Structure 1
């Protein structure tokens, strides 16, 4: 037990892969859980590391970072120039709000002719104009939080504005392989939406898993700086999985 031995000895044991237990009752409970596990863990969880004070990136920067790890994002247009090559519809967002819908900072299905008026009516000092993602059969949440006790926790679940009400999520530790991610998705109550519920089109499950694995790869690459990552919603269509909104809280690089 770590409370009965010097800290340096406990640290050496943990470094060697020995997990100290804080009490016999806890040790027995952990053994019971381990005995019931059916999924094989191939890699040790990514450690949380030291505490850090993450800053919130802009949605533009967050999407650019995630896109570099293979996550699909909507096409972005310069509102001042106008999307001449795209007929619409569009999404117009006020920039700088963590919960845009609560601030009336999101307008969907905006026609090309209405872009200037809608952009001028947005709260805040900046707007983001994107191509509207159509044909989605479901919206998912993909989130990662740094937990000092467990490392980095990856959560997948029902997304969109109803996330808090539905509370339909599954959580995994990072790293998790693609098979484990797919199993977690299959355990969601809303999973039938991805597989053609009542004759509806099926979502591209491989694209969804690839997007989630891209988020995980991003976190692993910057684990010493990441505090939080969230995509909500991930728009799941029959041919793609696209991050319609993204949030990243990250600490600055150490010098």
Structure 2
């Protein structure tokens, strides 16, 4: 399995429009963060977790040539707004693109991309198949995914475990039964917005490190990072040896 961080930033991305802080002015490519998304390649299957506003740029940058499915964590715009850009895969593969997510997420997508689900579609609109999922394991072309329900303030969000890889974004609480699903992960990805103060709907760095310490993955990566976290190079040097800040374009092979 190979996973690629398509984006590791918050809903505003980094740099933030109009901001003149050292992170937003940084020339380090690791401080340039598009909206959060993952590409998973396993046994010939190609999945994307979330299609945020930067999906087109991300797919071009990583030369994604085939897409078997999109899996959504939740319906916030920074995770769904780029869905229209699956159209080239429709044309290239001459097939619909399956979408997997909670029923409420898919219903919201039907509202926001109503033209793709109209009875009489305009030519060239995205061709999409909706597959509602619940909090239990499911398969995409034989590849098993285990949903992990986390809370994003009061909103249930799905993270996912695929083999030894676990991915959590947009969370500020994980119940014990869901934490157990993450145990023995070789690679754990978890969101960490900034160093503090505490945030209403996202883990901050000390909270993410506490969960990592509890679960003891072989290696952990932090994502959904804001410009207020600090410069990548400086923060990376402060982290435990098995914990890293993710960055856009980072690839991990399991």
TM-score by length of 1: 0.26
| TM-score (norm: length of structure 2) | 0.26
Q: Which has the higher helix share?
A: 1
Q: Which has the higher contact order (CA 8 A, sep 6+)?
A: 1
